[in-house]
Amino acid sequence: MYWFRDGSNLALLPWLAALLLSWLAGWLLATHSFKLNKNERLIAGLALGIVLSAWLLNVIGRWLPSELAFWAAPLILLLMAALVAWRSPQRPVLHREDLQIWPWLVAGLGMVWLFLLWSKGLALFDEHKNLSLISIMANGDIPPRYSLFPDVYLAYHYGFHLFAAGFMRLGGMLPWSAFDAAKAVTWGIALLLAAALGRRMTGTPWGGWATAAVLALASGVRYLLLVLPPSILLRADSLIQLQGTSALIGQPFSQALLAGWPVDGGPPMPYPFAFLNGILQPFVMAHQGPTTFAVLILLLMWLLLPRLSGRVSIVCAAILMAMWALVWESSYALFAIGLVGFAGLYYLRKRTLGLPYLPAALIALAVSAPMVLLQGGTFTEMARELLGSFGGTGLRTAGGLAANWLPALPPLAAEAGSGFLGFTFRWPLAIVSSHLGPLRIFSPVELLVALFELGPIVLFAPLLTVWAWRRAHAGEWLLGALTVAAWAGLLLPIVFQYEADRDISRLTSQALLIWALMLVFAVADRAARWSPGLRVAGIAALALACLGGLFVAGIQFTAASSTQLGAGFDKLDAEFSSQVWGTFPDNARLLGPLGSTTILTGQLSGQLLGDAPAGSELALFEETPTLELLRLYQYDYLYIDSRWWQSLPEEMRLNTGLQNDCVVTLSEVWDNSHVNFRRLLDVSACK
């Protein structure tokens, strides 16, 4: 039971209807607010409609019931887009010739199907965090709050999860299938945007497909370390310590290159560690969600910003930027640095900002700033905390939750570390890989490994900077802004250290992605002052960078014929969730095992079983669970997982009081052996 709560494929029809409404709205806006080519309007409109609808959902979801909010967002967007089209002098309202790109859309649908096959057989990357957010937002908790602190909003980039939540609320999916479907759709649309962008920049259809291929496959060339003399790799063993899940390999670096990556939820055939990357993972491994959505917005901005047309387009661009900040803060911040940095450099040299639409893009960025600070997510909570500190009292309090078992509030990322917003100066300077840790640039062996981790595309950065600067001065200013952003993404992690240091590699990843796409465009640019040999070298660099991604894609095919629910879940959980998800009163208090309770029920719950703070009342309940304690702390429902229940001594299970007549069993599912079960109890009638 993987796909739908009621087991019927027809449950997806309402979601498809909402998608078509958003697509139509986006198509109207792309036609009447941006000067796009006929082969771009339908694809850009699809992405534009999805992103704008998700942003509107984040706004109206605070006040409307969840079912209504998920329908209202695309309907409001369509009404606004229809008004824009009606007031526009351009006729016809929509162009039939836009539909001539139907073969591209069919190819995109094929990519969605392929990625869904992979995702269905994998359970990778922060599963419980992602699934919890999708489940509670689908059930109306927008913006999301901490499970233990219902009065405190979550400081997290939840923009992608708004889109994924629609698959649950409107499409009737279960949390894991909604997560996988949202990733697949986002991935397919991102490849279509890359193809449209490549076709525009190169002037040829093959340039579009090449751009999409590079987006899907480009990575580093860690595998080429295997051709180095063994003595170099042996020297690296004493210098490089594997980080995160890579450390589970349990072997020195030189031997780890020959091993499989021991990641939970991976494919039947393990990913070879030599073909992975700790900076730019191949886009075919876009199983996290937010990163994929951030790339989609980057490509959409790349298509739209040079084609702004009037005030409506500026507002749309501002909302796209605000949504970017809600999806992946680092990408938005890096783009803002690039845009402002390029505008400043250009003004210092020319004493003007006379490039087409550059002032409009700066206005859109300025308009997005207050949206970012008010819309929710990490930046909003950082601003809330900062204002609270200036006022002398923190604003992130537990409000009316006065129970003394509550632990301290989780710290914001901005509070971590001793530097500004968690950043401190890095010494010695290093290139950071999330797999290999900081690789010091003054250590020859570590620098060599870092260059292979970055890949050959980084060697073209100076040439691409010159190429982009010339194109920018000729009017394509966005290339200049993205180049500044790429250099910032490369240099900032070398100079600055972050409290969660492996996360800072995200900046370098965006830099490499920008340069990889630019290299495709530069190689195809006949006006570029590149010799034939240099163009061949650029093609060879792209081929080497894509080989690792191609190998990883082949490994993922081993998962295509299998099905994994979310990490740690099975058919019992799916059946239980189908019965109880979204059925609780708004203010109901629910207790259950940490992680699974919120995912399966969609209810924000005081879920502490399995992780209760030592000495707290709930730790006492976990040790000696009784009905009296449950009601003392005003819980209405108890979710019992047989794995926790059977870990209790038999005497303790008999003396819980949960057999009393006032306790009502609302749902109960068993496996065929009649050993494992999931059970929901209503204790609200007990005194």
Instruction: Calculate the alpha carbon distances from 614 to 190, 621, 622 in Å.
Output: 46, 11, 11
* Segment-wise mean pLDDT, segments of 10 residues, the chain, 687 residues: 87 95 96 92 96 96 92 96 91 90 94 93 82 92 80 87 95 93 96 96 92 96 93 90 86 91 87 93 89 96 91 95 94 95 91 86 94 90 77 42 39 45 85 92 94 95 94 92 96 88 88 96 90 94 95 93 84 91 86 81 68 59 77 84 80 80 89 87 86
DSSP state for residue 93 in the 8-state scheme:
S
Helix axes 290-304, 41-60, angle to 10 degrees: 120
Token digits for 284?
A: 């075919």
Q: How far is CA 264 from the centre of its chain?
A: 19
Range 119-157 burial, b when 16+ CB lie within 10 A, else e: bbbbbbbebbebbbbbbbbbbbbbbbebbbbbebbbbbb
Q: How is residue 274 annotated by DSSP? A: G
- Where residue 670 falls (left for φ over 0; alpha for ψ -120 to 50; beta otherwise) is beta
Query: How high is the pLDDT of residue 612?
Result: 57
Q: Residue holding tokens 């887009």?
A: 81
* Contact by Cβ (8 Å): 508, 279: yes
CB 72: neighbour CB atoms within 10 A? 17
Report the predicted TM-score, pTM, of the whole model to 2 decimal places: 0.92
Closest CA to 183 of 301, 290, 323: 290
E-assigned strand segments in 537-643: 590-591, 637-641
Hey, is 111 helix, strand or coil? helix
Q: What is the per-residue pLDDT for 526?
A: 87
